[in-house]
Amino acid sequence: MENVKKIDPHLLVCYDGTPSSTKIILYLKELFSNTPLELTLLKIISHPSASQGIETDLYKKLQKEAFLEEKAKEVFLQAERELKEVSERLKEHLPAKIYTKVLFKYGDIAEGIINFSKENLFDAILVGRRGLSKIATYILGGVTHKLIVSSLIPVWLIRGDKWNKRVFVPFDLSEKGLKLADYVSFIFANHKDIEITFFHIFHPLSDLKYFEGNIEELIELVKNKEYKEFFTKFKNRILENGFSIEKNKIRFKLKRGFLGPAGEIIREVKKGDYTTIVLGRREKKGIEGFFLGSVSQKIIFYFDDRAIWVVN
């Protein structure tokens, strides 16, 4: 597996110049310093015509259209210059290929971001906390919330002020858990000093009470055939991305849970001082599709000082 060709992750950064979007830039500098990446900085701006009324006089209408066209060009170039400046600052800290894109706002912003991300096959959409409130978790509203519940591409919600390179990944023993292993190992395949903890909560009556160690030890320890097959697949998913189990600090922690999934995750995250949490979210249809799963919802509610990745 050492000869696996590694592909640099391509991340879409939603930037609008606000403090929340500036934190995304700081987060990338902290987590991915000296790590190859591809970044696209996206800024969506309002078209000057959006605030204009309807003109019925033909001559005045033509004059107005010419003025608005010139104004649109001006604000577009200004946004491009802003992204260029941000790009140059980022290049001082990250060995990344950085692209910029300015789009005029037509319709719903979240839908525009999702469509753009689909067209360009990004590996993640990075957003700040703007637009995400506790009320927004119950009723649709806010760009961030809409992205989290609607995007098929993982969404990274960046909050907090200080971050480290410790990543916490709760998983279950399903295909969703394997997809998390695949995604996380892909994103960090080129990383030199990341620390990742994969965490699983057993049922309180499970035979295996507690485990902490590496994947090889775990596969050797478990007696249940299905568990052994699952963790063997888990290991293979990691290795297929060229992620080195030996060189990187990766460990597994499994325990019986008495506080419930959300409570156990919160306790472990605080205890280990993890500043990035990676959550899987089950796909839901109908009215349930408008709401986050209860565990993801509780984690996002509780932590407003850490980065949370929601992987669909």
Classify residue 120: in a domain, yes or no: yes
Q: Are residues 18 and 143 in the same domain?
A: yes
pLDDT (tens digit per residue) in 135-186: 433 333 478 888 988 899 999 999 999 999 999 999 999 999 999 999 999 9
Q: Are residues 153 and 170 in the same domain?
A: no
Contact residues for 288 (Cβ-Cβ < 8 A; gap 6+): none
Task: Please spell the DSSP secondary structure of 129-151, one letter per residue.
Answer: STT--TGGGTS--SHHHHHHHH-
| Domain closes at, from 157, 174, 193 | 157
Classify residue 294: in a domain, yes or no: no
Q: Are residues 114 and 28 in the same domain?
A: yes
The Cα–Cα gap between 212 and 232 comes to: 17
Q: Which of 111-125, 137-151, 248-262 has the lowest mean pLDDT?
A: 137-151
Q: Are residues 131 and 39 in the same domain?
A: yes
DSSP class of 5: P
3-state SS class at 26? helix
CATH number (domain holding residue 259): 3.40.50.620
Quickly tell me which residue has 């959006």 as its tokens.
Answer: 50
Sheet containing strand 10-14, edge to edge, reads 96-104, 37-45, 10-14, 124-127, 155-157, 307-311, 276-280, 166-170, 195-202, 249-256, 210-213
Q: Are residues 118 and 220 in the same domain?
A: no
Q: Are residues 88 and 124 in the same domain?
A: yes
Q: What tokens does 93 get?
A: 């800290």
Domain that holds residue 90: 10-157
Q: Are residues 130 and 80 in the same domain?
A: yes
Report residue 238: phi and psi, to 5°: -65, -45
Classify residue 138: in a domain, yes or no: yes
Number of domains in the chain: 2
Residue 61: pLDDT band (50, 70, 90) is low
Q: DSSP E strands: which ranges in the chain?
A: 10-14, 37-45, 96-104, 124-127, 155-157, 166-170, 195-202, 210-213, 249-256, 276-280, 307-311
Q: Are residues 58 and 191 in the same domain?
A: no
Provide the whole-model pTM.
Answer: 0.86
Classify residue 28: in a domain, yes or no: yes
Higher confidence at residue 155 or residue 244? 155
Q: Are residues 233 and 186 in the same domain?
A: yes
Classify residue 38: in a domain, yes or no: yes
Given CA atoms 302, 200, 210, 166 in this order, what sign does their dihedral have? negative
Contact 44, 104 (CB under 8 A): yes
Contact 305, 159 (CB under 8 A): yes
| Domain closes at, from 98, 125, 157 | 157
